[in-house]
Amino acid sequence: MKSPTERLNEVKNDENRKAVEPPATLGAKLKALGPGMMVAGAFIGTGTITTSIVAGTENGYTLLWASVTFAVILVIVLQEMVARLALATGQTLATLIREKFGLWLSILAVLAIFGGNTVYTVGNLNGVALTTSHLPGPPLMWVATVSLIYWFLLMVGKFRVLEKAVSALVLVMSAVFLIDMFASKPDFSRVAEGLLIPQFSASQLLLVTGLIGTTVVPYNLYLHSSAIIERGWHRNSQGFLSTARLDTIIPIFLGGLVTMSVGVVAASILHPRFLDGTLTIESAADMSAALEPVLGPAAYIFFNIGLFAAAVSSMPMAALSAAYVTTESFGMRSNLNAPGFRAVFSFVVWVPVAIFAVSKASPIATIIAAQSINGMLLPITAVIILVFVNQRSTMGTLRNGTLLNVATGAAVLFVCVLGGMNIINALTSV
C-alpha cells in the first residue's frame, strides 16, 4: 500500500504531465519556440552589430568563419547541452553551479555578468540613440523612453509576453539585414571562402575572440536554462527534448544570418573604402551614414530598423539574465514578481541610462573589449557544463555521447587557446 506522500507525489506528477504536454507536430513545435529566441535576441545586440562592422570593414570577408561558422556551431552545441541539463535536472545552471562548486564560483559569475551586461546595455542604448536621431527630441529622451517600456514589461511579470516580443524582434532583424545583404551585391564566392576557410593573424586575436564572444555569450547559457524552467519543459524532459533542440537550432541560425548579413555588407561596401583610406568606422553610425549613398534610402532605413531591433531585443535579456544569475546563485526567489529579482533587473536597466547620460566617449572600444572578455570567460563556463552533462547521476539518459564530447572539447580547447593568447598579448604589451 502506498503512503500518503507517495500518492501526493503521483498526483503532482499527473498534474505536471497534464499541465505541460509536448507538441506533437512540426507546426506545433515551431509555435512553441521561445527560450531559444530569447538567446538569439540577447546575443544580437549593438555589440554584435558593431563588432561585425569593424571586422568586415577592416578585414573584408576573411573573418566570417569566426563570427558565423565557428561561433554559430559552438553556440548551438553549448546551448543544446544547457537545454538538456535543465530538462534532465529541473534546475538552472546557476543553481547547479552553486550546489556543486560552491558560492565563490557563483560570485565570480555574478560579478562578470553584472559588469558585462551593464557595458552591453550602454552599447545598446547608443544603438537606440543612433536610430532615433532623426526623430524629434534629444537622444536621451528616446533612450529613457525605450528603457521605461521594457522595464515596464519586466515589472508586469508576463514572461511569455516578453518572450513573444523578443521573438518578433529577432524575425524583424533577420528579414531587414538579409535585404541589406542582397542589396549590397556581394561576391558570394568570397563569402563562401570567408565562411569555410579559417585565417587570421596575431594582430587580429582580440577581434577574433570578440567575434566569438559576441555570439557565444556566457550569460545566455544561464538565461537559456532559466527560460526552459520557466516554460515547465523539465516536467516532461523526454517529451520536450526534440522541441528544445529545434528551439535552440532555428533561433541561433537566424542570429547567425544577422551576423553574416552585417559582416557581408561591411565587407562588400565599406572594406574597399577602408583600404584606400577614405573611410574610418568608429561606430554603427558611421556604417549607417556610409550605406545610404550606396544602397539608397530604403536600405538605409532597413539598416536602422534592424539596428534598433537588435538594441531593443538585447536590453531586456541582459537585465533578465543578470537577475536570474544573481538570485539563483544566492538561493533567492527567481521570478519576475520577486522583490530581489526586480531590484537586480532594475539596476541593470537604469544604471546604464545614467552612464549614457553622462558619458561622451565612443562606445566601440568598450564594446569590443567586453566581447573579448566574454570570449576569455567562456571556457570556464563551457568546461563546467561539460562536467555536468557527463554525470550519469545528473543527466540519466540525456547524458552526453562520445562524439559530442570530442567535438565540444575541441571547440572549447580552441577558445581556451584564443583566450590565453589574448592574456599573453595584454601582459606583454604593458
Most confident range (mean pLDDT) of 28-32, 166-170, 190-194, 297-301 is 190-194
More confident residue, 384 or 360: 384
Q: What is the pLDDT of residue 147?
A: 93
DSSP assignment of 99-133 equals HHH-HHHHHHHHHHHHHHHHHHHHHHHHHHHHHTT
**pLDDT of 316-329, one tens digit each?**
898 999 999 999 99
Question: Is 15 within a domain?
Answer: no
Residue 256 contacts residue 71 (beta carbons within 8 Å): yes
Mean per-residue pLDDT, 347-367: 77
Residue 76 contacts residue 252 (beta carbons within 8 Å): yes
Helix (H) or strand (E) holding 341: helix 339-358
Q: Positive or negative CA dihedral for 345, 346, 349, 351?
A: negative
- All three cell numbers of 160, joined, read 511569455
Q: What is the pLDDT of residue 322?
A: 92
**pLDDT of 76-88, one tens digit each?**
988 999 999 999 9
- The DSSP letter of residue 91 is S
Write the Ramachandran bin of 60: left for phi over 0, alpha for psi from -120 to 50, otherwise beta.
left
Which region among 4-13, 202-211, 342-351, 415-424 has the lowest average model confidence (pLDDT)? 4-13
Which region among 40-54, 88-102, 416-430 has the lowest average model confidence (pLDDT)? 416-430
Whole-model pTM: value is 0.84
Residue 423 contacts residue 207 (beta carbons within 8 Å): no
Question: Is 319 within a domain?
Answer: yes
Q: What is the pLDDT of residue 349?
A: 93
| Residue pointed to by grid coordinates 562536467 | 387
**pLDDT of 271-302, one tens digit each?**
888 888 777 666 566 666 777 766 677 767 77
| Residue pointed to by grid coordinates 524532459 | 237
Rounded Cα distance between 70 and 74, Å, is 6
Write the Ramachandran bin of 89: left for phi over 0, alpha for psi from -120 to 50, otherwise beta.
alpha
Question: Is 116 within a domain?
Answer: yes
Residue 409 contacts residue 401 (beta carbons within 8 Å): no
> What does each C-alpha distance from 330 to 99, 110, 322, 333, 414 come to in angstroms?
10, 10, 12, 9, 32
Question: Is 20 within a domain?
Answer: no
- Mention every residue, 6+ apart, whose C-beta is less than 8 A from residue 283: 50, 126, 130, 362, 363, 364
Residue 45 contacts residue 306 (beta carbons within 8 Å): no
* Cα–Cα nearest to 316, from 130, 170, 117, 168: 117
Rounded Cα distance between 193 and 170, Å, is 27
Of the pLDDT bands very low, low, confident and very high (cuts 50, 70, 90), residue 1 is very low
Q: Is the pLDDT of residue 425 over 60?
A: no
- Rounded to the nearest integer, the mean pLDDT of the chain is 82
Which region among 90-94, 263-267, 421-425 has the lowest average model confidence (pLDDT)? 421-425
Angle at 274 between CA 273 and CA 280, to 5 degrees: 110
Q: What is the pLDDT of residue 65?
A: 93
CATH code for the domain of 140:
1.20.1740.10
Rounded Cα distance between 12 and 290, Å, is 60
Question: Is 190 within a domain?
Answer: yes
Of the pLDDT bands very low, low, confident and very high (cuts 50, 70, 90), residue 392 is confident
Q: What is the pLDDT of residue 10?
A: 45
Which region among 25-34, 36-45, 288-297 has the lowest average model confidence (pLDDT)? 288-297
| Residue pointed to by grid coordinates 555536468 | 388
- Mention every residue, 6+ apart, whose C-beta is less than 8 A from residue 226: 86, 92, 93, 94, 321, 324, 328, 334
Mean per-residue pLDDT, 47-52: 82
The b/e string for 212-250 (b: 16+ C-beta within 10 A; e otherwise) is: bbbbbbbbbbbbbbbbbbbbebbbbbebbbebbbbbbeb
Question: Is 3 within a domain?
Answer: no
Mean per-residue pLDDT, 321-348: 91
Mean per-residue pLDDT, 191-210: 84
Of the pLDDT bands very low, low, confident and very high (cuts 50, 70, 90), residue 74 is confident
**pLDDT of 135-158, one tens digit each?**
888 888 999 999 999 899 888 877
Q: How many domains does the chain have?
A: 1
More confident residue, 359 or 401: 401
**pLDDT of 215-240, one tens digit each?**
888 889 999 999 999 899 999 888 89
CA 216 to chain centre: 7
Question: Is 398 within a domain?
Answer: yes
Q: What is the pLDDT of residue 344?
A: 92
Residue 404 contacts residue 74 (beta carbons within 8 Å): no
CA 110 to chain centre: 17
Question: Is 16 within a domain?
Answer: no
Q: What is the pLDDT of residue 427?
A: 52
Q: What is the pLDDT of residue 371?
A: 57
Residue 56 contacts residue 291 (beta carbons within 8 Å): no
Q: What is the pLDDT of residue 7?
A: 41
Print the domain residue range for 410. 26-429
